[in-house]
Amino acid sequence: MGNGIAGLTAADSLRAGGFDGELTMVGAETRPAYSRPALSKALLRSDTDLTSHELPPPDHGATELLGRTAVGLDADRRVLTLDDGTELEYDGLVIASGSRARRLGTGSDELVLRTLDDALALREKLSSRPDVVIVGGGPLGMEAASGALEAGCRVTVVTNEPPLERQLGPYLSSHITAAATARGLTLIITPGARVVDQDGRSRVELADGTIIDGEILLSAVGDIPNTEWLEGSGLADGGPLAVDSRGRLRPEIVAAGDVAAFPLAGANVRSPIWHSAIEQARVAAGALLHGDAAPELQAQPYFWTELFDLNIRVAGRTPLVGEPELVDGALDGPALLRWRHDDGTAAAVSVNYRIPIPRLRKLCD
């Protein structure tokens, strides 16, 4: 269930692992699977073509049911029910139903950036150089801000904490903020901002009542796992799917990607990024095929972002607290940085510094 990179990787991994039985892929979108990281990066740039998100067509030989979603699961009878009433029986189930963008208001003019259709619509709108207001200073909001600035828009970001500070820590956050404001971004850091409907339009209202107005309002305030369809199945209580270290909810049901919360240091946490979805889907497919003999998830965190002419790659656990050690380069130019964690491990970061990812990873040992 799910035709994003997690579902696709699971299907590929099942085939690579020798599964030659019947495979059915169900996807909510009618489009073939695509690269989600490209949507807020290359695809928003007006000088790039419209193929940066394209993935090669699948060859897992599955029956594809696209434009359909699941509405129910009877885990004891092993039956999945789709929105058109179809009942699918299964021996093994991969739940990769992903997540959707969180919205702050109710107006249809509040844009989000989650699907390819969202990205294409935003790209089109940016071409007329509107004034843009973005709520959210995480990777998505700041990448979109970067793209909108490059498109020639005036851009304001409203965020309740410094850009990317929660993800990357204060050092890189201030580095990104400096690059962003140097390029003309207006940054408003304030708690309590909300989206209100005023005169039939969605606008951002700060805690003191100030209205921040733009022709485009984009909310980039996180995602909500798609688990409502599992209500009553006994597998989810409204939140993400807490799986074991092999992605299992039951021996014959696994989950991977944005919908899944894998155990990490004593808690089940989601890791809604591209690389994690791939890692998790490989593990989950292995667990369906081999049970306890399959490898457990050995998460190798890897994250990258491109914004305001900064290409930042992070290997290892985040956030990054304190000052970095300069491994190579210069702090005001291309740099290879390292942060030591209390447990003896480290995280390595390249900023506009070309390095093979395996070498970046080695710096984490």
Partner 1 sequence: MRIELDRPRCEGHGLCEEAAPDLMHLDDDGELVIDIAEVDGAALDRARAAVRVCPVAALRLAERA
User: Any bridge partners for residue 268, and if so which?
Assistant: 263
- The residue (of 5 and 347) whose beta carbon lies closer to partner 1 is 5
**Nearest one of 237, 220, 215, 219 to 228, comparing CA atoms:** 237
Amino acid identity of residue 269, one-letter, is: V
Smallest distance from partner 1 to CB 51, Å: 6
Smallest distance from partner 1 to CB 150, Å: 17
- The residue (of 302 and 308) whose beta carbon lies closer to partner 1 is 302
Which burial class, exposed, middle or buried, applies to 23 when counting CB atoms under 10 A from its CB (0-12, 13-18, 19+)?
A: middle
Smallest distance from partner 1 to CB 282, Å: 9
- The residue (of 125 and 282) whose beta carbon lies closer to partner 1 is 282
- The residue (of 37 and 138) whose beta carbon lies closer to partner 1 is 37
Smallest distance from partner 1 to CB 279, Å: 9
- The residue (of 3 and 159) whose beta carbon lies closer to partner 1 is 3
Tokens of 315: 């290997």
Amino acid identity of residue 101, one-letter, is: A
Q: What is the DSSP string of 261-320?
A: EEEETTEEEE--SHHHHHHHHHHHHHHHHHGGGSPPP----EEEEEETTEEEEEESSS--
Smallest distance from partner 1 to CB 341, Å: 23
Smallest distance from partner 1 to CB 357, Å: 4
Residue ranges that bind partner 1, judged by CB under 8 A: 5, 8-9, 12-13, 15-16, 35, 37-38, 42, 51-56, 59, 274-275, 278, 302, 304, 311, 313, 354-359
- The residue (of 59 and 76) whose beta carbon lies closer to partner 1 is 59
Amino acid identity of residue 186, one-letter, is: T
**Nearest one of 349, 341, 344, 345 to 364, comparing CA atoms:** 345
CA distance 327 to 349: 10
Smallest distance from partner 1 to CB 269, Å: 22
**Nearest one of 226, 228, 233, 283 to 258, comparing CA atoms:** 226
Amino acid identity of residue 364, one-letter, is: C
Neighbour-count burial for 50-82, b at 16+ CB within 10 Å, e otherwise? eebbeeeebebebebbeebbbbebebeebebeb
- The residue (of 55 and 182) whose beta carbon lies closer to partner 1 is 55
Strand order in the sheet with 302-307: 302-307, 310-315, 346-351, 335-340, 325-329
Q: What is the DSSP string of 62-95?
A: PEEEES--EEEEETTTTEEEETTS-EEE-SSEEE
Tell me the CA distances in angstroms from 217 to 82, 201, 202, one per residue in order.
34, 10, 7
- The residue (of 36 and 125) whose beta carbon lies closer to partner 1 is 36
Smallest distance from partner 1 to CB 247, Å: 17
Q: In this structure, are residues 247 and 284 in contact, taking their beta carbons and an 8 Å threshold?
A: yes
- The residue (of 227 and 305) whose beta carbon lies closer to partner 1 is 305
Smallest distance from partner 1 to CB 57, Å: 10
Smallest distance from partner 1 to CB 120, Å: 16
- The residue (of 194 and 362) whose beta carbon lies closer to partner 1 is 362
